[in-house]
Amino acid sequence: MASKFQNRLVGTIILVSIGVIVLPDVLDGKKTHYQEEIASIPIKPELQSDVETFEVLEPEDDSAALPPTPVEVTLEVEDQGEQAQLENKPLPVVVKEVPERNEYQESAWIIQLMALKNAENAENVVKDLQKRGYQAHTKLDNSFTRVIIGPDISKNKLERQIKELEKITGSKGRLLKFKPLNP
């Protein structure tokens, strides 16, 4: 015969196994199952049996709306001699020369302050300089972001700014000519 301890042990194992198997289903509640709704695309579209028909109209004659002849320009000239000269003489053509070089291109200057690998740092420097009243910009050049001050037509003003910028940023800038077509 089995001892009392063995009976209790078997009873405890049975209760624990029932609790492990049945209890999670009881406590979890109603389970919801999700299914994706699939929309099917019809293989062949359904066509209506009625075919649309169009009536082709004959073109209308609108020649009455056009002027009978091309537009002619008439000049009223008092003297018959002047009229004869106007008919034979071609009108003068005035050709105006446009200068090839832009005057601003030769006289503008910029300061290239620094070139940084980190574009975010360059943007922070530009924001700081703009808060201080400088005309600062960034220019992406290969893997570097250049911090540029200007352009300005006054070379002396930018030379003074180089000294001020060196105190602010700790980097000495270079004064360069500004080329608007290739900045």
pLDDT in tens, 56-96: 888 777 766 665 555 555 555 555 555 555 566 666 677 77
Q: Is the pTM of this model over 0.85?
A: no
Determine, yes or no, domain membership for 47.
no
Dump pLDDT digits (tens) for 137-176. 998 888 899 999 988 888 888 888 888 888 888 888 888 8
pLDDT at residue 50, as a whole number: 66
Place of tokens 């609790």: 19
How many CA atoms lie less than 13 Å away from 35 in the CB half-sphere? 3
pLDDT at 39 over 60: yes
Residue ranges making up the domain that contains 160: 109-177
The overall average pLDDT reported for the chain is: 78
Burial (CB count <10 Å: 0-12, 13-18, 19+), residue 146: middle
For position 124, which CATH number holds?
3.30.70.1070
| CB neighbour burial string for 88-119, b if at least 16 within 10 angstroms, e if fewer | eeeeeeeeeeeeeeeeeeeebbbbbbbbbeee
Determine, yes or no, domain membership for 14.
no
Determine, yes or no, domain membership for 130.
yes
CA pair distance 82, 101, nearest whole angstrom = 43
Determine, yes or no, domain membership for 161.
yes
Per the structure, the count of domains in the chain is 1
Containing 23, the helix (H) or strand (E) segment is: helix 4-28
What is the total residue count of the chain?
Answer: 183
